[in-house]
Amino acid sequence: MVWPILAAVLVSAGNALSRKLFDLSSNAFLELQWYLFSAAFLSAAGYVLLVNEHVRIDAVSQRFKPRVRAWLDVVVLAIFVLPLTGVIGALGFHLFEQAWTSGEGSSNAGGLLRWPVYACVPFGMACLGLQALSETIRRLAWLAGRAPHPTLAESALPPFMPGPSRPPR
Amino acid sequence: MTAWVSANLPPLMFAALTLFLLSGVPVAFGLAACGLTFAFIGIELGLLSPALLQALPLRLFGIMGNETLLAIPFFTFMGLLLEKSGLAEDLLETVGQVFGPLRGGLALAVVLVGALLAATTGVVAASVISMGLISLPVMLRYGYHKRLAAGVIAAAGSLAQVVPPSLVLIVMADQLGRSVGDMYTAALVPAGMLIGLQVLLVVVLAVLAPRWLPALPPEARAEREASGASGLRSLALLALVSALASWSFVSYYPSWLQRIGRSSAPPPDEMAMVALGAAVGAAFLLSVVDRLLRLNLLSNLARRVAFVLIPPLILIFLVLGTIFLGVATPTEGGAMGAVGALVLALSRRRIDHRQIAHTLLATVKLSTFVMFILIGSTVFSLTFQGIGGQVWVEHLFNHLPGGPTGFLVFVTVGVFLLGFFLDFFEIAFILLPLLAPVAEKLGIDLIWFGVLIGINLQTSFLTPPFGFALFYLRSVAPAKEYTDSVTGRVIGAIKTGDIYWGVMPFIAIQVIVMSLVLAYPQILLHDKTGAAKMDAQTVNRMLQQLPTGQSDSAQDPMKLLLEQLKDEKPPR
């Protein structure tokens, strides 16, 4: 989930250097960059929802009671986010299927096959949809008094990279 | 009823969006939810075709394949790495030693280091956190006014969002459909004005209220000669020699370019880059020679300054240099800077693979929420444009008095006020797509518009209660009173109110510069010598001595612009 970013940085810097120094460049490198970034941010969408870091405007809502805020989250997640991930995911999957069977390539010379990046969309939407379902259930369970308060901070999760080094600020 | 809804759908949708966003649900999902709701209403009312939603995946691929947006993870990654690399620490300590003996010197050092870091990276967190951790305790120890110390750190840190390469300017360029390079060039002068005015404010305060920003006492000056001299004279001499070396190189540079077959004269921003590189190279060479031959002509302080300035200036060259020289696109410049910062941090053994992974995770989280706001705003705008929202927005501004000027003043004031409550991604991705077509129709230069909004959004990092620079400073400033380890004095806590009051004069500076840019758009494309202010005084001196042949092209903004366009696009 995180390493594609490093790969994209290296590909981008390498491509710029090789173009200048050796006059050697390819659309494949340019496309690889955004394939990698898309893979990273789409697959991270569910995780970012889990650690509650999709930004909110809480200037007004911080005065609401926790129960009201939980209900608002349930409404938006269950009624809007779930269907939307379904729609985009299904349409994306359709495009992926087409590209897979037809072997669709990029329209740029030397470009890459399209299906891997199309595949990121249904995958990312599935992750986000499942996480939205999970967040909905956890909020409903709390509202029904059957579970602890669901807002999870990243620090409450098992460490991302276990080891002695301190987490970033 | 149905007829009334049909006729008033755009304002209803906008009102619904406000409600969705204020309800505190994640912005990305609120935008998408609003778009989806009104898509169904529109389809039910027969205003929209049911096939509308099928455009969504294509829009999504458009966002994914946008090369400019790739700069967001690259610059974020670079900024986070720099924060860990210890570069800011070294700079602050050294520059603090140089200016410390002056009244207000520490505050001056903060502004200059803030400007230098700003030219290195495009994110605010890195500079504010490092300065809050390093300079703030020193300033408080030697009796700086709490509010002034907090204000100057937050303000200098926020410069990262307006001095190229800044994320704000990248996002502006993307949303307005202009080249990032043009946006950078246009932002140089206002960025220089901001830095200059911050320096001026510190100097004026040092004269009027010396008790608020005292000089460092002699015992606090660590870097001294065996003889007890401060070594400042040697530093001044080194600066002079490097300036001379750089000047002679720069005056030779255009003719050398011609000899290798480039016909156009180099634009001023390229000259500034070259002058900077030559000056630093000369200073570095002199210090190395001095050290290797054990001549001891240079004082400790002079040598330290020469060495500590090298890494940030190499990074500036890697990022800005390659962009302005046309070697790399801004995105690639960000990638080169990130690689540079990675090499720097690794070579100093400041990070291991775990910390790289943590830095990447922080980068991914930020990029993800930004990209999803953009996706949400696409869902919104797809419907909003479908139901004729753009016409409604234009109609709304038609009633505004004053034509283009009235529009600009209204937008500037509006964005400034919204900046108190929203952060810049929200303003850039939600409001800008609505405003940009109106601006274009009114015949407003979109680069000017972008820079104006860019400074405005940079200000939103400073405005309480939701300014990011203030949050970062709060997270590292002492929240309780503590006993200073050096002087043994008890030092009071920095209250959140102190930070808020401290930034007020700096917000005033922002407003002044915004008004100037609004009133005199010609300063953006015209007098490019202002670019010198973006860095240390060395460059400033350089540029005053630039060969006069430059001024010919500088007088004709169109010609200058065309030349830049020619040089800036790297071959694909």
Whole-number average pLDDT of chain A: 83
Q: For B505-545, what is each residue's pLDDT tens digit? A: 999 999 999 999 998 888 875 433 333 333 344 444 444 44
* Angstroms from B152 CA to nearest CA on chain A: 22
DSSP class of B53: G
A contacts of B361 (beta carbons < 8 Å): 1-2, 160, 168
DSSP string, B32-50: HHHHHHHHHHHHHTTSS-G
Higher pLDDT, residue B62 or A151 = B62
Query: From CA B162, how far away is CA B122, in angstroms rounded?
Result: 8
**Chain A, window 55-114: residues with a beta carbon less than 8 angstroms from a chain B beta carbon:** 55-62, 64, 69, 72-73, 76-77, 79-81, 83-84, 87-88, 91-92, 95
Quick one: pLDDT at residue B501? 93
Residue B554 has pLDDT above 60, yes or no: no
Verify whether the Cβ–Cβ distance B426 to A45 is below 8 Å. no
* Angstroms from A146 CA to nearest CA on chain B: 23
Quick one: pLDDT at residue B254? 75
Q: Where do the H-state alpha helices sit in B260-352?
A: 268-292, 300-316, 322-324, 330-347
Estimate to the nearest angstrom the gap between the alpha carbon of B271 and the chain centroid.
21
Quick one: pLDDT at residue B262? 65
Quick one: pLDDT at residue B194? 94
B contacts of A57 (beta carbons < 8 Å): 21-22, 24, 27, 421-422, 426
* Highest-pLDDT range among A123-132, B293-302, B419-428: A123-132
Query: From CA B206, how far away is CA B141, in angstroms rounded?
Result: 17
Q: For B131-140, what is each residue's pLDDT tens digit? A: 888 888 888 8
Substitution target in B131, B364, B420 with the highest count of A β-carbons within 10 Å is B364
Higher pLDDT, residue B50 or B260 = B50
* Highest-pLDDT range among B46-50, B218-222, B444-448: B444-448
Evaluated on CA atoms B154, B160, B162, B168, the torsion sign reads: negative
Q: For B225-236, what is each residue's pLDDT tens digit? A: 656 566 777 778
Verify whether the Cβ–Cβ distance B64 to A61 is below 8 Å. no
Query: From CA B435, how far away is CA B441, in angstroms rounded?
Result: 10
Residue B78 has pLDDT above 70, yes or no: yes
Verify whether the Cβ–Cβ distance B21 to A62 is below 8 Å. no
Higher pLDDT, residue A86 or B326 = A86
* Angstroms from A145 CA to nearest CA on chain B: 22
Verify whether the Cβ–Cβ distance A41 to B371 is below 8 Å. yes
* Angstroms from B542 CA to nearest CA on chain A: 28
Residue B497 has pLDDT above 50, yes or no: yes
3-state secondary structure at position B479:
coil
Q: For residue B319, name the pLDDT band (cuts at 50, 70, 90).
A: confident
* Angstroms from B234 CA to nearest CA on chain A: 38
* Angstroms from B471 CA to nearest CA on chain A: 13
B423 touches chain A (CB under 8 A): yes
Q: For residue B65, name the pLDDT band (cuts at 50, 70, 90).
A: confident
Verify whether the Cβ–Cβ distance B64 to A38 is below 8 Å. yes
What value does the mean pLDDT take over residues B435-449? Answer: 89
Residue A50 has pLDDT above 60, yes or no: yes
Specify the DSSP element, H or E, that contains B483.
Answer: strand B482-483
Q: For residue A137, name the pLDDT band (cuts at 50, 70, 90).
A: very high
Substitution target in B123, B124, B354 with the highest count of A β-carbons within 10 Å is B354
3-state secondary structure at position B490:
strand
Q: For B362-395, what is each residue's pLDDT tens digit? A: 899 988 988 999 999 988 988 998 888 888 888 8
Substitution target in A10, A15, A24, A55 with the highest count of B β-carbons within 10 Å is A55
Give CA angle at B278 (B272, B279), nearest 5°.
90
DSSP class of A157: S
* Highest-pLDDT range among A88-97, A123-132, B95-104, B342-351: A123-132
Quick one: pLDDT at residue B298? 74
**What pTM did the predictor assign?**
0.82
Verify whether the Cβ–Cβ distance B426 to A55 is below 8 Å. yes
* Cα first-last separation, chain A: 20
**Residue B259 CB burial class (10 angstroms; 0-12, 13-18, ≥19):** exposed
- A72-76 contacts: CB < 8 A, separation 24 or more? A72/B23, A72/B24, A72/B25, A73/A135, A73/A136, A73/A139, A73/B25, A74/A136, A74/A139, A74/A140, A74/A143, A76/B20, A76/B23, A76/B25, A76/B26, A76/B29, A76/B30, A76/B33
Q: For B190-222, what is each residue's pLDDT tens digit? A: 999 999 999 999 999 999 988 888 888 877 766
As a whole-number percent, the residues of chain A with pLDDT over 70 amount to: 89
Higher pLDDT, residue B154 or B248 = B154
Closest Cα in chain B to A40: B364
Substitution target in A54, A58, A95, A154 with the highest count of B β-carbons within 10 Å is A54
What value does the mean pLDDT take over residues B323-348? Answer: 87
Verify whether the Cβ–Cβ distance B355 to A2 is below 8 Å. no
Verify whether the Cβ–Cβ distance A54 to B26 is below 8 Å. yes
Among B275-284, B373-382, B407-416, B534-543, the least confident range = B534-543
When CB atoms are compared, the residue of B357, B364, B369 closest to A54 is B369
Residue B564 has pLDDT above 50, yes or no: no
Torsion of CA B30, B36, B41, B43, to 10 degrees: 160
Q: For residue B277, name the pLDDT band (cuts at 50, 70, 90).
A: confident
As a whole-number percent, the residues of chain B with pLDDT over 90 amount to: 18
Quick one: pLDDT at residue B455? 93
B471 touches chain A (CB under 8 A): no
* Angstroms from A59 CA to nearest CA on chain B: 7
Query: From CA B415, how far away is CA B402, in angstroms rounded?
Result: 18
Q: For residue A154, name the pLDDT band (cuts at 50, 70, 90).
A: low
| Phi, psi (rounded to 5 degrees) for B72 | -60, -55
ipTM: 0.90
Query: From CA B201, how far away is CA B183, in angstroms rounded?
Result: 27
Verify whether the Cβ–Cβ distance B379 to A117 is below 8 Å. no
